[in-house]
Every structure is written in structure tokens, then in C-alpha cells.
């Protein structure tokens, strides 16, 4: 019987997910999403992934969800709440994920692995020599990773930083370029197209236009 904390946070995570899908108001969905992300972050921390867990709270629950809620508030989606979903859509939405879960069950029966306790002293001994080590003759001191491992704590951030700036240095720089491109893309997308607002300003008019054949009229002119 695993720790009850695991089940508490796993159920918190799933409950948040169900809230996202079932609640009509998009703001409530976003709140359920935050709940779910907090549950995931707790599970990640339970897996000794402290850095990724913190990142999950900071980036997902902090930055991304704030962006979502900001856009939901900005677009004023209240008037679209009272739409009913087709019965067939709900049936498909239950059936397809259920199939996925059914496929998953036999796969999980074949996985049988318990987590081994981390032996940090042995981990320190097996670290590569490139990580600075205490040596009286050469005058080198133990690196932060080695001192933490000797003290019996997992230097999660240091180890991630170590591989991020050595092994994964090139992908890191590529991600930097990607972030720059997405920033520029956002600015370009949010720029008002010249000629003021789009032709269709009324919701009903936009809907009728979207249904009719002459679609180009609805798109903003450039």
C-alpha cells in the first residue's frame, strides 16, 4: 500500500482534469486546470524530480494559465456557454478515451517495476571525473554535486544544470531561438491589420457570413 499522499494528489490531478472537461464556464475550466497542474507537480516532486515539479508550478500553473485566463476574460466568452453538445459527440468523447484506457490496462500488467531507493553515496562514487573532485595535490575542491551527494541530498538542479550546459547545450540554444521566433510571431499575429477593425463586427452577422459561401469577405483584408 503506497503512501496516501500519492493517492491524494493523483485524485486531485484527475479531479482537476474532469473539471476542465465538464464545467461549462471557461474560467472554471481554467481553475480546474490549475488544480490538475498542482497535483501533477506534487506527483513529480514525489518522483524526486524537484526541479521539474517546481517548473510545472512556475511555468504551467503560473505563466501559461495566467495567459489562458487573460485571453478568456479578454474575449468575453460568457454568451457561448449555453450551447448544448450533441449526444453523439459525448458518446465519441467517452468511447475513444475508454478504448485508450482499455489498451493501456494489458500494457500496464506487463510493467512490473518498483522504484529502487536512490543510493546517493554510490552515485557519488560513480560520477564521471569531469565533475570536479577533491584532490589535495591538484588543489581542486569537491563540486556542489559531490558535496550534496555526500551529505545525502539529491542535487537535482545542479545535475540538470550540468547536463543542460554540457550534453544538451546545442538544444538549449535552439530552444532560445524558438522562444525568440515565437515572441516575434506573437507580435506579428497581434498586430492590427491596417484598415482598422475586421469587416464583421456583429456576432450574428459573423455567424451568417461564416455559414455562407463567400468566406473571403469575413477575413480581414490585407
Partner 1 sequence: MPTASLTEYLFFSGLLFAIGLSGVIIRRNIIVIFMCLELMLAAASLTLVAFTRANTGDTNLPDYDGQMLVFFIITVAAAEVAVGLAIIVALYRARKTTSTDDLTALKN
The 3-state secondary structure of 195-213, one letter per residue: CCCCCCCCHHHHHHHHHCC
| C-beta closer to partner 1: residue 136 or 192 | 192
**Smallest gap from residue 110 Cβ to partner 1 (A):** 9
Binding test (CB under 8 A) with partner 1, winner from 57, 68, 144, 147 = 68
CA–CA gap between residue 149 and residue 189 (Å, rounded): 48
Site for partner 1 in 82-141 (CB under 8 A): 83, 85, 89-90, 92-94, 96-98, 100-101, 104, 108, 111-116, 118-120, 122-123, 126-127
Query: What angle in degrees, to the nearest 10, is found between the helix axes of 156-165 and 169-190?
Result: 90
**Smallest gap from residue 144 Cβ to partner 1 (A):** 15
Q: Does 74 bind partner 1 (CB under 8 A)?
A: yes
| C-beta closer to partner 1: residue 58 or 135 | 58
Q: What are phi and psi of 58, to 5 degrees?
A: -65, -50
CA–CA gap between residue 144 and residue 154 (Å, rounded): 11
CA–CA gap between residue 124 and residue 161 (Å, rounded): 17
Site for partner 1 in 142-201 (CB under 8 A): 154, 159-160, 163-164, 167-168, 171, 175, 178-179, 181-183, 185-186, 189-190, 197-198, 200-201
Instruction: For residue 25, give the nearest of 89, 73, 81 by alpha carbon.
Output: 81
**Please, what sign has the CA dihedral across residues 67, 70, 75, 79?**
positive
140 pairs with which residues across the strands? 135
194: Cβ–Cβ under 8 A, 6 or more apart, which residues?
222
- Count of residues that bind partner 1 according to CB under 8 A: 99
| C-beta closer to partner 1: residue 138 or 177 | 177
205: Cβ–Cβ under 8 A, 6 or more apart, which residues?
none
Instruction: For residue 159, give the nearest of 206, 107, 217, 120 by alpha carbon.
Output: 120
Residue 66 cell numbers, joined? 495566467
| C-beta closer to partner 1: residue 105 or 138 | 105
Binding test (CB under 8 A) with partner 1, winner from 35, 56, 143, 146 = 56
| C-beta closer to partner 1: residue 48 or 140 | 48
**Smallest gap from residue 52 Cβ to partner 1 (A):** 5
Site for partner 1 in 25-54 (CB under 8 A): 26, 29-30, 33, 36-37, 40, 43-44, 46-49, 51-52
Amino acid at each position: 500500500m503506497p503512501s496516501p499522499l500519492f493517492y491524494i494528489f493523483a485524485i486531485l490531478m484527475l479531479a482537476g482534469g474532469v473539471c476542465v472537461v465538464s464545467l461549462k464556464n471557461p474560467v472554471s475550466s481554467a481553475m480546474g486546470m490549475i488544480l490538475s497542474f498542482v497535483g501533477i507537480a506534487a506527483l513529480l516532486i514525489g518522483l524526486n524530480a524537484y526541479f521539474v515539479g517546481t517548473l510545472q508550478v512556475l511555468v504551467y500553473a503560473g505563466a501559461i494559465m495566467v495567459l489562458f485566463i487573460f485571453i478568456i476574460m479578454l474575449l468575453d466568452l460568457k454568451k457561448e456557454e449555453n450551447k448544448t453538445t450533441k449526444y453523439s459527440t459525448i458518446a465519441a468523447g467517452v468511447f475513444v478515451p475508454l478504448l485508450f484506457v482499455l489498451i493501456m490496462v494489458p500494457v500496464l500488467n506487463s510493467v512490473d517495476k518498483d522504484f529502487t531507493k536512490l543510493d546517493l553515496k554510490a552515485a557519488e562514487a560513480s560520477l564521471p571525473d569531469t565533475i570536479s573532485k577533491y584532490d589535495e595535490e591538484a588543489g581542486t575542491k569537491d563540486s556542489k554535486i559531490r558535496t550534496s551527494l555526500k551529505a545525502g541530498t539529491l542535487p537535482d538542479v545542479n545535475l540538470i544544470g550540468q547536463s543542460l550546459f554540457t550534453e544538451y547545450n546545442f538544444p538549449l540554444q535552439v530552444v532560445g531561438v524558438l522562444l525568440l521566433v515565437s515572441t516575434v510571431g506573437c507580435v506579428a499575429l497581434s498586430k492590427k491589420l491596417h484598415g482598422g477593425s475586421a469587416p464583421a463586427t456583429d456576432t450574428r452577422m459573423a455567424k451568417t457570413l461564416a455559414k455562407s459561401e463567400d468566406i473571403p469577405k469575413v477575413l480581414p483584408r490585407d
